[in-house]
Structure 1
């Protein structure tokens, strides 16, 4: 017996305080089913299956053995799955040969074997599942509460999570149901699946990894909706995977998760701007919520930059002892991400994406439209670069944001552009953005120390030192902006 399909599902962490009420709700009216599962996941020692986005496992469910292959797909909801009932616990990759991910699995394992690497069991999952099928308006949804542990050698990690999987009907209708359960039980969205967590545990990295931006992929002849979907999915994954890092991540990565989450928000907003007029606009409330989250994370980011960079450099420069007052306005980042407002926002963006409908396709191709828009924005940016010496800090900050947006838009439209010329633009934009970012950080630091001079005259040393650094930074920025202004324009 075989079954192959695209799963539409979403995972959430379950707070300990909600566990009993949630289990009671699932078991109401005797509709729940209980099952114990043991999964063994296989991969090569160099993790080439995981790196290819594949998860290959053998499951024992009662007396049955079920072999499964899962593959990542774009978006927060979709994942490929192919399952085959097996006579025993021995895995056979050929059982998935009728599927494209199965062919990829067979090829990867053959390559590994030729290099002397056989697939081995990497980790196990032992779990108890409480599952109920729920019918709601427009959808039938399987809801499963999973509790158990991941085991990789001597490493063990317990988990308690809930999964919503669409059986039939509308994904948007399923997400409406998910939002009601999220509100009721304080659920926290986790974009990771158990396979990812298990591979991390086996590799000695039990925490969510830092997630940096990736290049969206779509065909050169893609329409606006398909291209935007690929771009949006990447931006949202960038945000969500760093958001879970702020609740479940390693403390030493906190500052970088903050930075990358903010980059994810900035890229998502830039994507909406880059495709404006070609795809539907999101509700204003969603965009406003992103701005609020960005601002709250920004408080922690400014403190991190000041504490990790400027303070150490001032000490090295011989500054007199000076204690910066603690910033009582800094947010509790884990509480911020777990908050009802943030979790509502993250789920609402997933729901908006799932219900996105195409607008009437413009007469021109997306390639022509994107190139025209990029050329127009580049001209405005060059005008700002040429007025650099006239710009005060506020205007410089606006120029920096313009450079960031242009860089992100070039990355979003990269499949539609000549590679070499786009690369030259991206390199010049990255250098200009870094130079302007240095100015911004120094201005923030100088203003912070300037506010302290009345209470502690020792702060004058920092103000003077930072002012000198700013003059040097402006010289570097002038050079980089000159290089950016001289880059050959993109083709029509």
Structure 2
């Protein structure tokens, strides 16, 4: 298993990085820079890529090394994946040498044993990297190999420059990689690298779209402790956040912005849910609110330009809708670029590394008393039941007379409903499935009703501002505001029915 943290560094910062205090400690043990030439092979149909694998032959001096890497997982730039490596006698792959390393009954095993695929292999791109290696031995006994890479990735379509920092764990715990990266971040503005060299090479061959990723179901063991449940839930939320980073950075897919924002809301809700027993480290909630706000503006304008304006009936005013929609879409694109810049920032890199380190080393235990450690070691089931009851009661209280509440109090009820929904989804595997489905069905319908009203309130504010900044859209914006207000008023009875249906229910247990 390869464990490697990948970070990007600007070419102009390489010299400063080489003079970082950390490198001064290991300079005497550093290896002389060497050229690594790696040729990646695949079939014309890119079978290895489609199988989430990469195959290369690397030349180091007179030696040839063949490597097959599988997809694995990526979190905050930390790649964890299976790697099969060994010497070969020429510049082309020798798949038979992998047979003893990979079981025959696995998908990779079948791939390397397919004679037809082997016969079709051809070079698809080449990386030429000048690498400086620094071995680092930490006081904890952990061993890390630090590599500074500068070079190119060359394919028929062109060449892409690369300057990168790789921290490979040779021995010890993954959290040591985050600690070292944070120390280096104090010297130069590093960025999380979400793409391997193979990913960058294939990106020159195939235009790949990063799909938006929704939350995966949380599965808790009924014998899990509070601490174990928190770890599973927090990592589940973080997985959703980080799975959508690439889509946000690309700037093309508003759905990725939405799903990353959902992941952040879920994570903040999880931290709030466990706050009495597992407090977040200082500043975490502020940083999560910051990145959520950077994504929020893009999402608000996307919703207005799309689904909210679709509720307004412009059939008798066809010439007025186009300036409004165009102005909204332009602002949405501008804000999407702002969101991408935020996810690419040093500030977000620090947040991602600190959060990953905290979860990896269970940093909440620092400063805890024996009684507090004992408390988080107790079963999560009673804790979950208490949380679900408490959040349900708060929603019932805030939702009293829901359909007649003003915008502010209805928004508070909507937030309470969202927290109930997230808590229920976090703990649903501990409850009878039928009870959960019935409860979530009613809660989802209520949230949809509240969500539509909230979108209308936000739309009113945005359209009001739009009238001042885009005179051509002023008339259409005024019409849309009036129409949406009438729709909200007409929705009064529907909201009353949704609330009446939900308040009859009890939380699952």
13, 35, 43: which one pairs with 1:18? Answer: 13
Give the match for residue 281 of structure 1: 279
TM-score by length of 1: 0.79
Between the aligned partners of 1:420 and 1:374, the Cα distance in structure 2 is: 16
Between the aligned partners of 1:44 and 1:418, the Cα distance in structure 2 is: 50
1:30-429 alignment to 2 at 5 Å?
31-32=30-31, 33-38=33-38, 40=40, 55=53, 57-62=55-60, 63-70=63-70, 72=72, 76=76, 77=78, 79-87=80-88, 89-92=93-96, 94-97=99-102, 104-105=106-107, 109=111, 124=125, 126-128=127-129, 129-135=131-137, 138=140, 139-147=142-150, 159-169=162-172, 171-195=174-198, 204-205=207-208, 208-247=210-249, 249=250, 251-253=251-253, 255-278=254-277, 280-311=278-309, 314=312, 316-319=314-317, 321=320, 332-356=338-362, 359-361=373-375, 365-429=379-443
* Structure 2 residue runs without a partner (length 5+): 366-372
- SS of 1:146's equivalent in the other structure is strand
Between the aligned partners of 2:128 and 2:409, the Cα distance in structure 1 is: 56
Pair 203,218 (structure 1): closer, same or farther in 2 beyond 3 Å: farther
- SS of 2:167's equivalent in the other structure is strand
Give the match for residue 461 of structure 1: 479
Between the aligned partners of 2:54 and 2:465, the Cα distance in structure 1 is: 58
Deviations 1:338-390 (A, max 9, x none): 33332222221112112215632557522332233223323433444453123
Pair 71,471 (structure 1): closer, same or farther in 2 beyond 3 Å: same
Give the match for residue 3 of structure 1: none
CA contact (8 A) 2:2 2:80 kept: yes
Task: Answer with 191-200 or 13-22: which moved more.
Answer: 191-200
- SS of 2:149's equivalent in the other structure is strand
Give the deviation of 1:267 after TM superposition: 1.0
Give the match for residue 484 of structure 1: 502
Deviations 1:82-103 (A, max 9, x none): 43425452225543347xxx86
Pair 382,49 (structure 1): closer, same or farther in 2 beyond 3 Å: farther
Task: Answer with 405-414 or 24-33: which moved more.
Answer: 24-33
Give the deviation of 1:240 after TM superposition: 2.8
- SS of 2:187's equivalent in the other structure is helix
Give the deviation of 1:272 after TM superposition: 1.3
Pair 417,109 (structure 1): closer, same or farther in 2 beyond 3 Å: farther
Pair 173,363 (structure 1): closer, same or farther in 2 beyond 3 Å: closer
Between the aligned partners of 2:340 and 2:190, the Cα distance in structure 1 is: 14
Between the aligned partners of 1:17 and 1:75, the Cα distance in structure 2 is: 27
Between the aligned partners of 1:41 and 1:220, the Cα distance in structure 2 is: 46
Give the deviation of 1:133 after TM superposition: 1.9
Aligned length: 474
Pair 70,266 (structure 1): closer, same or farther in 2 beyond 3 Å: same
Between the aligned partners of 1:169 and 1:106, the Cα distance in structure 2 is: 28
* Structure 1 residue runs without a partner (length 5+): 1-5
CA contact (8 A) 2:175 2:360 kept: yes
Task: Answer with 342-351 or 147-156: which moved more.
Answer: 147-156
Give the deviation of 1:467 after TM superposition: 0.7
Task: Answer with 474-483 or 435-444: which moved more.
Answer: 474-483
TM-score by length of 2: 0.77
Deviations 1:399-431 (A, max 9, x none): 222222222222222332333332333333333
Give RMSD over aligned pairs. 4.1
Give the deviation of 1:165 after TM superposition: 2.0
- SS of 2:252's equivalent in the other structure is helix
CA contact (8 A) 1:428 1:483 kept: yes
Between the aligned partners of 2:283 and 2:72, the Cα distance in structure 1 is: 30
Between the aligned partners of 1:217 and 1:174, the Cα distance in structure 2 is: 28
446, 452, 455: which one pairs with 1:441? Answer: 455
Pair 223,155 (structure 1): closer, same or farther in 2 beyond 3 Å: farther
